[in-house]
Amino acid sequence: MSHFTVASSEAAVSKLFEGVRDGFSVDESDSVNFGPFTAGYDVGFHLEGGTVDLQNNGDILIKELDIKWDKLRVFAGIDIPELCIGGFCIIPSPWGCVLRAPRICVFDDNPDLGIDLDLSGLLTSEISIAAKPKLSYFIDPARPAGMSWLDAEDANVANKWQLFIDPDWVDIDVFDWADIVGDLLDDAINTAVDDLLWFLPGWAKSLIHAILGPVVDLVRAILDIGDDIDEWLSNLLGVSLGLFDLIITLVADYFAGKTPLLSIEDPFPIMPYKNGLIPVKLPIEQLGITINDKEMVLAATLGASL
Amino acid sequence: MKAQINTHLFTQTRFDSGALTPSNFVVHPFANCGQYQADVSRNGGFLYSFIIDVSERHPEKQISLDLAQLDAKLRTADQHDCSCGPDHNLFTLAENGYGLFYASKGSGGYSVKVHPLSAEKCDHAEIFDSTALTNDDLFGITLLRPGDYLLRDAKNKIECKIHVAEVKPGKEPYRPPEALHVDAESIKKAGAQLKLLQAQGLVVRCAGFSRIVIEYKSPTEPTNKKTGTKANQPLKAAVASWKKTGVKR
């Protein structure tokens, strides 16, 4: 039988959750070589919103947790195809070309074309979590062996019971890319080509554009972008670059083990230092938790000694 | 990696069969077998030599010799103990094959002279000089800049205007049409103006030419809106061609 019982309403749990949620932020970048092109991302985001829904089976459901992209840059680098002139047949024959002109290439090598897309604020996405409460006992690694509970409190290295939200699953929904994403990509491609050819006279740029053909189509073909750029971006980030898996892992790790929903000092302080007297504290021998659809209940069993 | 652009392709305004640059080339048919020494110069100064071995034993119907690349390679080989092998300056060609000389990079200025070293079964010695082309030689060029050019051979007092029309980027990638083939005789007769599109090849058979110089003169002249004519009326457009059809790319 427990000696202490503390119940928190769903609203109170929500408040606790908000505190944990607001401490979460991510800043990550990565790139992968896909052969015909390289692609990468540079992202930063935090979490906002979200509703907490306690379940009778002891689960905690968190829904509509918005990913707020502080930074969402996607970049791709491609080699534009060799651009050469000449190579025409000088003397043809029924068996093929007998004499052929040399091909002279505009570039020394296949040039890189770097496309940089700033998509911050253009992606709507959210996270859902189904979790179970997880209690663990934390012993501060900075606390020396044999240190008394009183000294540990003075040194701020007291032991703690910690309550985490341990996700059974985390789901990320990428709802929508803003309509202007396609235009942004086309602009980025044209800008990249202009940067590459910036020092050439207008007629030379025009000729190169003519030989390359519509460069936007060319780059889209190399990057294997079909008709649906939203799908391509989601696949690139989510599947090819594994960003969404990374987000899921980071979120799950954060809630499951990095930042507790609740932290209870052990021994639990009842009365602080007062008038030269040492504080009064109660050792928590055991701590249990139950959840129903209305509240979360913590039940503590006190120990015999500190 | 940021590739370097071959800027000479876009800045050059004078093209000379006796001073090869990335846009032009010369061709000499090697009708007779034997060993030939090719001496390469740049802007009049001798650079290096190499050997062309012409024989019915060799399968190559064409050798394309990049004088700019060879310049770097052979001069390095001369200066250092390279691992190029003893035949690093030997090239082989089938009897009746073609030797094509060009410069793929840089500002060019290369010329080449070919002298026979031996003649196994040849009745006559053969000499090729890119500064003094002969009847069976070819001169080729790809003009990129739109506008008007003047082709001339000072020695033979031949002049011909060339108009290169601008190509606008379209929905499909631009592929230049087949090269235009002309010879001196037809140009002299008609006083023609050659009409090309940007990046379209021009091949001149050097019957009657000895040294071909093409110079860029001006951008395309604007059309007079009232008369529909250009400020400088073109010469009679009679483009002679000695081989126009059946060209395979």
In the prediction, which pLDDT does B88 show? 66
Q: CA of B199, closest CA in chain A: separation in Å?
A: 7
Pick B166's closest partner by Cβ from A90, A112, A203: A203
From the list B238, B170, B228, B239, the residue with the least C-alpha distance to B202 is: B239
From first to last of its 306 residues, chain A has per-residue pLDDT tens of 677 898 999 999 999 999 999 999 999 999 988 887 889 999 999 999 999 999 999 999 999 999 999 999 998 888 877 788 899 999 988 888 999 999 988 876 666 788 888 888 888 889 999 999 999 999 999 999 888 888 888 888 999 999 999 999 999 987 777 778 888 888 888 888 888 888 888 899 889 888 888 878 888 888 888 777 888 888 888 888 898 899 999 999 999 999 999 999 988 888 888 888 888 888 898 999 999 999 999 998 887 766
B146·A203 Cβ contact <8 A: yes
Is B221's pLDDT higher than 70?
Answer: no
Rounded Cα distance between B60 and B33, Å, is 13
8 Å CB contact of B140 and A90: yes
Q: Is the pLDDT of residue B239 over 80?
A: no
Tell the burial category of A118 from Cβ atoms under 10 Å away from its Cβ (0-12, 13-18, 19+): middle
Pair B46, B142: CB distance under 8 Å? no
- Which chain A residues touch B100 with a CB distance below 8 Å? 99, 101-102
Chain B residues in contact with A98 by the CB 8 A cut-off are 61-62, 98
Residue B234, pLDDT score = 35
The residue assigned the tokens 């790319």 is: B249
pLDDT of residue A7: 92
User: Residue B210 — very low, low, confident or very high, per pLDDT cuts 50/70/90?
Assistant: confident
Q: What is the mean pLDDT of chain B?
A: 79
User: Best interface-test mutation with B: which of A85, A103, A110, A216 has the largest number of B CBs within 10 A?
Assistant: A85
Q: Which amino acid is at A162?
A: Q
**Strand order in A284-291's β-sheet?**
A4-9, A295-302, A284-291
Please report where in the chains the tokens 């073109």 appear, as a residue: B234
Reference B52, options B29, B82, B18, B84; nearest CA is B29
3-state secondary structure of B69: helix
Cis peptide preceding A267, ω within 30 of 0: yes
Percent of chain B with pLDDT over 90: 43
Give the model's pLDDT for residue B157.
80
Residue B20 binned pLDDT confidence (cut-offs 50, 70, 90)? very high
- At residue B3 the predicted structure's pLDDT band, cuts being 50, 70 and 90, is low
Nearest to B3 among A100, A111, A207 (CB): A111
Q: Where are the domains of chain A?
A: 4-302
Q: What is the ipTM of this complex?
A: 0.80
Structure tokens at A146: 């044999």
* Contacting residues of B for A111, CB less than 8 Å apart: 1-3, 5
Q: How far is A145 from chain B (nearest CA, A)?
A: 57
CB count within 10 Å of CB A263 equals 12
- Does residue B233 have a pLDDT over 50? no
CB-closest option in A109, A206, A212 to B1:
A109
Say if residue B124's pLDDT is above 60: no
Interface A-B, measured as beta-carbon pairs within 8 A, has a size of 130
- In chain A, whose CA is at the least distance from the CA of B98? A99
pLDDT greater than 50 at residue B237: no
**The pLDDT value given to residue A196:** 81
Nearest Cα of chain B lies from the Cα of A112 at a distance, in angstroms, of 6
Distance CA A17, CA A51 (A): 9
Find the residue in B nearest to A104 (Cα).
B104
The yes-or-no verdict on residue B27 having pLDDT over 80 is yes
Do residue A104 and residue B98 have CB atoms under 8 angstroms apart? no
Indicate if the pLDDT at residue B243 is higher than 90.
no
Distance from CA of A85 to the nearest CA of B (A): 7
Supply φ then ψ for residue B105, to 5 degrees: -140, 165
Query: What is the reported pLDDT for A292?
Result: 94
Q: Are B9 and A111 a contacting pair at CB < 8 A?
A: no
